[in-house]
């Protein structure tokens, strides 16, 4: 089995991405990140997903983007939007997050002699993040092949983004067909310590709409509205 590094947040999309990589015959090395996110219940979700789906190894890397702030996901002084998905780049965008994560995945891939990195970014049902676009993934892949020993020596590195042009409903249906237990995942931007979702942030809304459109029961556990 060919080794692949899979970025795993613990959310719906990354769990589906891991299932896709496994179904394609890759030996998966999962990489999660504690970057100072306020919704770090997703890291416990990532552990549950790995136990359920299987992986050769799972590592959690710590890097402190919270020390810079600038995002509602890393700075508690910035409120997480709860009034519905709006056009434009929202305050939940974390500056340079995907670039840092993919760079660390690239480093591990080189050590593993892996030519494949999987990331669950999505450019359809997303919140306007510039580092979730196809152009970004293509540019990073080009950079990876210019900046690494493996790339220069002709091994070739590929960044796989199998969800990038799927709707949330399509992602959920695909994951359901591959046996993903979405009850294990956490998508909420402000989940509590038990992993219960708020139900009103952008991520919660997109998730709920996705399950409804897919015609499947939403297993998300929501906290009481007054909690």
Q: What is the pLDDT of residue 84?
A: 80
Q: What is the pLDDT of residue 224?
A: 87
- Report the alpha-carbon distance of residue 43 to residue 160 in Å, rounded: 22
Which residue, chain included where needed, has tokens 């091994």?
155
- The CA-based angle 150-155-160, given to 5 degrees, is 95
Distance spanning both ends of the chain, measured CA to CA? 47
Q: What is the pLDDT of residue 38?
A: 86
* Structure-block tokens of residue 106: 């690239």
- Given a cut of 70, the residues of the chain with pLDDT beneath it are 125-127, 226-227
Q: What is the pLDDT of residue 126?
A: 60
Other beta carbons within 10 angstroms of residue 89's beta carbon come to 11
pTM: 0.95
- Full DSSP string of 174-190: HHHHTT--GGG----TT
Contacts 24+ apart (CB under 8 A), 200-205: 200/82, 201/80, 201/81, 201/82, 201/92, 202/81, 202/84, 202/85, 202/90, 202/92, 202/127, 203/11, 203/92, 203/127, 205/84, 205/85
Q: What is the pLDDT of residue 123?
A: 86
Q: What is the pLDDT of residue 124?
A: 76
- Report the alpha-carbon distance of residue 21 to residue 118 in Å, rounded: 7
């Amino acid at each position: 089995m060919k080794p692949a590094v899979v970025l795993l947040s613990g959310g719906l999309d990354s769990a589906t991405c891991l299932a896709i990589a496994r179904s394609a015959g890759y030996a998966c090395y999962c990489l999660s990140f504690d970057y100072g996110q306020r919704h770090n219940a997703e890291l416990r979700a990532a552990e549950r997903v790995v136990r359920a789906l299987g992986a050769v190894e799972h590592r959690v890397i710590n890097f402190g983007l919270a020390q810079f702030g600038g995002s509602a996901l890393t700075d508690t002084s910035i409120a997480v939007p709860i009034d519905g998905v709006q056009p434009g780049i929202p305050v939940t965008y974390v500056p340079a997050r995907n670039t840092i994560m993919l760079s660390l995945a690239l480093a591990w891939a080189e050590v593993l002699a892996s030519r494949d990195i999987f990331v669950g970014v999505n450019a359809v049902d997303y919140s306007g993040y510039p580092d979730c676009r196809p152009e970004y993934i293509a540019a990073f892949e080009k950079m990876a092949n210019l900046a690494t020993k493996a790339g220069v020596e002709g091994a070739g590195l590929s960044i796989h983004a199998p969800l990038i042009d799927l709707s949330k409903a399509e992602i959920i249906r695909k994951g359901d067909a591959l046996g993903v237990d979405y009850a294990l995942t956490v998508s909420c931007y402000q989940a509590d310590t038990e992993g219960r979702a708020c139900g009103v942030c952008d991520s919660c809304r997109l998730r709920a709409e996705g399950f409804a459109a897919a015609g499947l029961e939403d297993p998300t556990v929501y906290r009481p509205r007054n909690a």
